[in-house]
Amino acid sequence: MKKLFAQILFFFSAFAFAQETGTIAGALSDKEMNNEPLPFANVTVKNTSKGTTSDFDGLYKIENIPTDIYTIVVSFIGYETVEIPNVKVEANKVTEINTGLGASAAALDEVMITTVSRRDSEVALLLDQKDAVDIKESIGSQELTKLGVSDAATATTKISGVSSSEASGDVFVRGLGDRYLYTTLNGMPIPSDDIERKNIDLSLFPTRIVQSVSISKTYSSANSADQSSGSVDISSRSLVGLQEFGFGTQVGLNTNANAEGIGSNFKRTANESDLSLGFHSKDISTKDAITDQTWNAQSTNMPINYQYSLTAGKKIGEKFKVFFTGSQSSKFEYSEGIFRQFERNRRNVEFTDASLYNNTINTTGLLD
């Protein structure tokens, strides 16, 4: 009995010890070849047996490194060896080191070291993509910020083989549209916001709540069978580091909506007062909302686009983290021209002087 107890205790001790490891990953570039990826370079953890070589894309990854502070050595035949000191490896986190090698001595100020707990960097996502058994492409929030992308719908178009239609809001993967797609959030299916569509409008997800957007273009046991062109998965953000706080605001004008004669009399719904922070809050039945409220349009002066956001988070203790991010935006649009409506491919309605006033309010919140 004592022997069995000792074995169980040893097992749990080994399990607990195994959890206190981290990963070092990154990308190497060749300074002699205009910063092209550098394959087959050696990356080692000094004074240990840990090490690896970069692949054809210059990517490398060393896993299961005990938490401590190390010196990383990067070398390649015919190039100067670079030693990077004071690299801290934290438990269950990825320390990302990106640097370049050249024939002359490399300056350490060109070495980029970051530690992340969420896998949203370009290097981390490329490494995941290489390990995937299906055809999968991802783009992370760091890359989206560089590209100036504001929502998940636009983010998908930065992936090869994906396009979108501004007129309908559809996303097309390999030329196939809404009925052939499948959308999930953190692997769970999302209901559509439109009864005439199968998938939710991806523009409802601002990039501030997105860690990464992935598209699998082949069938996989991990995905629903209810797709044939692509499966879109949105990974939500979580707290990075010990604490985080940020506030942002933005104001703008749409020149069409503020044109002469339009901006001073911009038409809005008579039920605008029923909305609070983007949510409908009128406590009356649907029938009364149709029959007892006016259908006459109201008007407003100077329709101004705005957006504000708040992000806050804190780590409490060793494992408990609280993270919140929320935003609201209001966008005004105006267009005019010919309006045509078709039924069974036959035109049954036409107006030659149609005017469209549109005000979109989007309120988004994420609590983790």
Cα–Cα dist 37/33, whole Å: 9
**What DSSP line would sit under 292-307, residue for residue?**
SS--S-EEESS--EEE
What CA dihedral angle connects 212, 217, 220 and 223, to 10 degrees?
50
Average pLDDT, the chain: 78
> What pLDDT shows up at residue 304?
92
In the chain the domains, ranked by start, together with CATH numbers, are 2-116 (2.60.40.1120), 135-236 (2.170.130.10), 243-367 (no CATH)
Question: Average pLDDT of 252-271?
Answer: 87
Tell me the backbone φ, ψ of residue 82, rounded to 5 degrees: -110, 130
Q: Are 60 and 43 in contact (CB under 8 A)?
A: yes
- 32 or 108, which is more confident? 32
Cα–Cα dist 154/120, whole Å: 17
Q: Residue 19's pLDDT band (boundaries 50, 70, 90)?
A: low
Among the listed residues 109, 61, 60, 121, the one whose alpha carbon sits nearest the alpha carbon of residue 82: 109
* Global pTM value: 0.58
Q: Are 95 and 216 in contact (CB under 8 A)?
A: no
For the beta sheet containing 243-252, the strands, ordered from the edge strand earlier in sequence to the opposite edge, are: 243-252, 305-316, 320-343, 346-367
**How many C-beta atoms lie closer than 10 Å to residue 106's C-beta?**
20
Q: Residue 112's pLDDT band (boundaries 50, 70, 90)?
A: low
